[in-house]
């Protein structure tokens, strides 16, 4: 079997299991797909990030959004969406013009600092400026490091799970459309990415299906704690990945 990007069959099976777990986590918590999958997949083949994760993340984010969309408060969300629209092109500009290693380290430091601040009781008020800033950072981080969830998740930390999940995934859905559009326009999305998407979409859909059966059992406190821990872990991973 000729697998795209010269992946071995064992690597393909491992990635399939990884995206199943990551999709299930995002379906339950509201985010975490790229935070879990990106640091591992980039070690297997850097050409898969952010392209493959963006392709797989789109139906995932769309499904989680529609599952609880009635709970979304659109008033503060619109500033996040505007920020995400602006952040994507800025991230692409940074990615194509600046040295990628210090850029990724800077992203990691910011995400880690926000996670630590959240751990020690720092809460971000959801006002128009903070929402716009979080959306912009999410767009930039998503393009540079394929990890755009923490800025938005920290902004919504402490909200009820049935609002947290669809709100974040509304932003993710639009953000992924922007990311994929920019990748297509710049010629950085290849047929091999599409083939892998077709091979791996089934475990992602299974992960979504699994999460749908258990997400209502997860407490709001657990979601808030996982936002903090995922932010700290993803910040450390991005920094270590850039240094080593």
Which two structure tokens, joined as six digits, stand for 80? Answer: 């996040």
At residue 122, the pLDDT reads: 82
Give residue-wise pLDDT tens across range 159-177. 999 999 999 999 999 999 9
Check residue 130 and give its pLDDT: 95
Tokens of 114: 């926000």
In the predicted structure, residue 121 carries a pLDDT above the cut 90: no
How many percent of the chain have pLDDT more than 90?
Answer: 68
SS3 109: helix
∠ CA 143-157-170, nearest 5°, is 50
Rounded to whole angstroms, the Cα distance separating 110 from 30 reads 21
pLDDT per residue as tens digits for the range 48-103: 988 999 999 999 999 999 999 999 989 889 999 999 999 999 998 998 888 888 88
Q: What is the pLDDT of residues 5-63, one digit of tens each?
A: 999 999 999 999 999 999 999 999 999 998 899 888 988 998 898 899 999 999 999 99
What residue segments make up the domains of the chain, in order of their start? 4-243
Q: CA 12, CA 27: separation in Å to the nearest integer?
A: 22
Whole-prediction pTM value?
Answer: 0.90
Question: Residue 8: what pLDDT?
Answer: 95
């Amino acid at each position: 079997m000729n697998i795209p990007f010269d992946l071995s069959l064992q690597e393909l099976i491992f990635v399939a299991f990884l995206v199943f777990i990551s999709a299930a986590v995002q379906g339950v918590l509201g985010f975490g797909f790229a935070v879990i999958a990106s640091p591992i997949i980039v070690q297997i083949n850097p050409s898969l990030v952010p392209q493959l994760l963006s392709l797989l993340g789109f139906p995932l984010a769309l499904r989680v959004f529609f599952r609880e969309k009635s709970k979304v408060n659109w008033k503060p969300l619109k500033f996040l969406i505007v920020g995400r629209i602006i952040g994507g092109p800025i991230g692409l500009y940074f990615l194509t013009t600046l040295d990628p290693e210090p850029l990724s380290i800077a992203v990691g430091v910011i995400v880690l600092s926000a996670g630590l601040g959240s751990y020690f009781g720092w809460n971000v008020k959801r006002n128009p400026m903070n929402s716009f800033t979080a959306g912009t950072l999410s767009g930039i981080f998503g393009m540079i490091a394929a990890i755009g969830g923490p800025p938005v998740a920290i902004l919504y930390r402490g909200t009820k799970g049935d609002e947290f999940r669809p709100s974040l995934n509304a932003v993710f859905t639009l953000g992924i459309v922007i990311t994929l559009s920019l990748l297509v326009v710049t010629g950085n999305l290849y047929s091999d990415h599409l083939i892998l998407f077709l091979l791996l979409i089934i475990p992602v859909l299974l992960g979504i299906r699994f999460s749908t059966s258990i997400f209502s059992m997860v407490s709001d406190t657990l979601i808030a704690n996982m936002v903090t821990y995922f932010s700290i872990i993803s910040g450390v991973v991005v920094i270590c990945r850039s240094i080593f």
